[in-house]
Amino acid sequence: MVESFGFNRRQFGGLVAGLTASLGAGSAWAQNTRPFKLGALNSITGAGGVYGPGMLEAIKLAVKEVNDAGGAAGRKFEIFAEDDQTRADAAVLAAKKLVEITKVEAIVGIWPSAVQLAVMPITNAAGIITMNTSGAPEIDENDKLDLVWQFYGSNVIFGRAFAETVRKLGYKRPGVMAFNNATMLAQARYFQKTWEEKGDKVVDFIPYEPNQTSYRTELDRLLSKKPDIISASSYLPDLTIILKEWYQSGIPCKFIAPGWSANETLARTLGADVVDGILSVSNVPATQNPAFKHFSSAFKAATGREPETFAAASYDMVICLALALQAAGAEATPAQIASKIRTVAEQPGKKVSSFAEGRELLLKGEKIDFDGASAPLTFTPEGRSTPDFGIYEFQKDKLVLKEVIRLT
Amino acid sequence: MELYVSAIAIWVLIYTLMATGLALQYGFTGLINFGVVGFVAIGAYGSGILSQHGVPVWLSIPAGAALAGLAAYPLGRVTLRLGGDYLAIVTLGFSETVRIFIIKEEWLTRGTHGMPGLPRIFEDWAGRSSGDLTLLVLLVAVNVVIFLLMRGLIRSPFGRILAAVRDNEVAAKALGKDTASFKTRALMIGSALCGLGGAFQAHYITFIGPEQYVPLMTFYVWIAIMIGGAVSIRGIVVGTVILIGFLEGSRFLRDVFGGISEVQLASVRFWLIGMALICTVLYRPQGLFGERTKGTN
């Protein structure tokens, strides 16, 4: 008698169905665990080299946080970092490598406007998301696909914030110094425009060239006009030199500067005597938000220093992107992920301040509102975050929040 | 992948145009021009501004090159009594003057805001990816034509006088040649080629800003001709390929050696280029395909 190992038709059908289901589930499982390739295009060298490494470190911390929580929609993040050298021409080739060789699905951490403007045609053509801290209004104007997201206020908003602050604090004779690049000049010009809207005049407007070892000439020219406050649209290296030379001059004058330059690193470099009384305008809730506290302690543990606002914005980019991916699903295209960014970052929704917290609520089907380390993250229709501004003052060498202003 | 490779090839061909211009000035005429980037900027902005005022790109690019060549004329007439280090310093100052002009004359150049949205070559009818490949073919053709013209020029009586000026200007003058005129013409032709490279680059990146036109670009072009050889067309091409190979190839180092951080890689890139230059100067000062020539500055 021949024993048969054959199946009857029902058993055979069941076996085939089972095999097909397991293969399908296997491939679905394989797709769900497909890593999310994240490009980091940072200014590691060049003029932006002061901030780029910190931004990259923040991106790495955020990616670790996402991956430690199991990834977004089951997909762990993989970083592919490139240096744009703070130049549009170098950035184009770096972006092409990320887009065409590495096939990233998003590029984050872009700092200068020139780089964002130069890579935008490449990334838009590839249909991928980019996130930046660039201030040029042209980015908003040219982004027609809603794939470009600015995690920083525009030059218009910053300039207005400075002018409103100076007016609110009762100063009458502001002078303006501006680092000679598109962002700082635009910011300074909007300060001047906002100030002069009410019929007043700034005492002088002085742009200065980058990478000088002394700004004595520009400073003396401005101080000769006897301003009661100087609005310095500056970065940390040049503000350090300007304040040192101002202090050496012995001429009394207040300063107001952006938070990325008037920060604790400045205080450590120059000392309490120099920085005491200087005003700093920053995104808030820079120090009040749980996301900032959590990010800041991780950043300090990794680097030994406090993060500046661009690093905090870079952290927010990754967390926001991860939450949007979680909401959109593992198979979502970049455009579909981008469409969820406002959903996870704005009201209505339960406030969350970390990826794990947000993911847990999303898995339960609840709405969330991620408040980031750099700002509450409310986006304009053009994809720009409009922060609240905190006015801080150095009391000795410590920054103390004086008040918050909100601009619309 | 092919689009990235074509992007690298486009970059090589653009820098080859600039290197050819500098080779004519330095390798064949003995002029030390440290202001290459100034002429690149004039070509880029000339073409960019014209194209934004409705001039078609196929006209604005040669116009940008011509502007760069014309800009070299007054520089040549004023400075070509100077030689060696003095010409180098003056041309360096010229390139910085061009950059500051771009920054200050916002009504014309948009200053530090830069000029976004420049029209790409061929994109209207070819689309983005085919446009790149078509541009690559065009640049190959342009470079071949330029090389043929250069070869003809060097072998012509004009070229022989340039070589005489390079090797012994006093002797050339003693034979009744107006060496300043020949040097000026070499400066203009070389600068026009640099401007042509700048114009192509502007319409490829589609954004130009003054921060791109810094002396670093000049020294990249110098490195290319020093490594390859300044008196050989093969040398110009090979030197440019090696330069871009180092600059772009170093991006892939981290894929191979995972332990290098991004900050370290930035330093490694410049170290590699610096070492290549030092080794060339020490062991092969005439470049890979150059010849030792007498009286070369």
Determine if residue B80 is left, alpha or beta; phi over 0 gives left, psi from -120 to 50 gives alpha, anything else beta.
alpha
pLDDT at position A259:
87
Residue with tokens 């007016």: A167
Please identify every stretch of chain A with a pLDDT value under 70, giving residue numbers as ranges: 1-32, 284-287, 407-408
Q: Does a structural domain hold residue B259? A: no
pLDDT at position B256:
67
What phi, psi does A382 have (nearest 5°)?
A: -85, 0
How far apart are the C-alpha atoms of A188 and B127, rounded to whole Å?
Answer: 39
pLDDT at position A47:
80
Q: How do A106-110 and A148-150 pair as beta strands?
A: unpaired
How far apart are the C-alpha atoms of A269 and A238, rounded to whole Å?
Answer: 12
Report pLDDT digits (tens) over B9-38: 999 999 999 999 999 999 999 899 999 999
Identify which of B114, B212, B262 has the shortest CB distance to residue A182.
B114
**Which residues are paired to A223 by β-bridges?**
none
| Residue ranges of chain B whose CB lies within 8 Å of a chain A CB | 1, 3-4, 7-8, 11, 103, 111-114, 116-117, 120, 128, 201, 204-209, 211-212, 248, 251, 254, 262-263, 265-266
Of residues B1 and B196, which shows the higher confidence score? Answer: B196
Percent of chain B surpassing pLDDT 90:
44
Please state, in angstroms and as integers, the Cα–Cα distance from residue A151 to each residue in A145, A310, A319, A392, following that order. Answer: 17, 9, 12, 21
Of residues A191 and B123, which shows the higher confidence score? Answer: A191
Domain count, chain B: 1
How far apart are the C-alpha atoms of A330 and B284, rounded to whole Å?
Answer: 56
| Residue ranges of chain A whose CB lies within 8 Å of a chain B CB | 42, 44-45, 47, 53, 56, 81-83, 85-89, 92-94, 96-97, 100-101, 113-114, 117-118, 121, 125, 136, 138, 142, 180-182, 185-186
Question: Is the four-CA dihedral A326, A329, A333, A337 of positive or negative sign?
Answer: negative
Q: Is-contact A51 A111, C-beta < 8 A?
A: yes
Domain that holds residue B141: 2-214
* Residue of chain A whose alpha carbon sits nearest to that of B7: A93
Report pLDDT digits (tens) over B153-198: 989 999 898 888 888 888 888 888 888 888 899 999 999 999 999 9
What 3-state DSSP class applies to A229?
strand
Please report, as a single letter, which amino acid is at residue A183.
Answer: T
Residue with tokens 């205080």: A267
> Residue B112: which of A21, A188, A168 has the closest Cα?
A188
Residue B262 has pLDDT above 90, yes or no: no
Helices (H) and strands (E) in chain B, counts: 13, 0
Q: Does a structural domain hold residue B227? A: no
pLDDT at position B109:
94
Q: Does a structural domain hold residue B41? A: yes
pLDDT at position A12:
47
- The DSSP symbol for B26 reads I
Q: What is the mean pLDDT of residues B99-110?
A: 92
Please state, in angstroms and as integers, the Cα–Cα distance from residue A357 to each residue in A354, A367, A368, A389, B68, following that order. Answer: 5, 12, 9, 26, 59
Q: Does a structural domain hold residue B67? A: yes
Q: What is the largest CA-CA distance in chain B?
A: 64
What residues of A are in contact with residue B1 (Cβ under 8 Å)?
Answer: 100-101
Q: Does a structural domain hold residue B175? A: yes
How far apart are the C-alpha atoms of B201 and B181, rounded to whole Å?
Answer: 30
Q: How does residue B130 score in pLDDT terms, banded at 50, 70 and 90?
A: low
Contact residues for A388 (Cβ-Cβ < 8 A; gap 6+) = A283, A284, A285, A375, A376, A404, A405, A406
What 3-state DSSP class applies to A207?
strand
B266–A181 C-beta distance less than 8 A: no
Report pLDDT digits (tens) over B48-57: 999 999 999 9
What residues of A are in contact with residue B11 (Cβ under 8 Å)?
Answer: 93
Identify which of B103, B128, B251 has the shortest CB distance to residue A180.
B103
Q: What is the dihedral of CA B146, B151, B152, B153, to 10 degrees?
A: 80
Is the ipTM, as predicted for this complex, more than 0.95? no
Q: How far is B266 from chain A (nearest CA, A)?
A: 7
Look at A37-46, A225-234, B106-115, B265-274 and tell me which has the smallest mean pLDDT.
Answer: B265-274
Give the HSE-up count for residue B189: Cα atoms under 13 Å, Cβ half-sphere: 21
Q: Does a structural domain hold residue B295? A: no
Q: Does a structural domain hold residue B283? A: no
How far apart are the C-alpha atoms of A100 and A126, rounded to whole Å?
Answer: 9
A56–B3 C-beta distance less than 8 A: no
Residue B241 has pLDDT above 80, yes or no: yes
How far apart are the C-alpha atoms of B262 and A311, rounded to whole Å?
Answer: 16
> Residue A72: which of A37, A101, A100, A107 has the closest Cα?
A37
Q: In three state form, how does the secondary structure of B246-296 look?
A: HHHHHHHHHHHCCCCCHHHHHHHHHHHHHHHHHHHHHHCCCCCCCCCCCCC
DSSP string, A42-109: E--SSGGGGTHHHHHHHHHHHHHHHHHTT-BTTB-EEEEEEE-TT-HHHHHHHHHIIIIII--SEEEE
Q: Does a structural domain hold residue B104? A: yes
Q: Is-contact A107 A84, C-beta < 8 A?
A: no
pLDDT at position A9:
52
Identify which of B3, B207, B263 has the shortest CB distance to residue A88.
B207
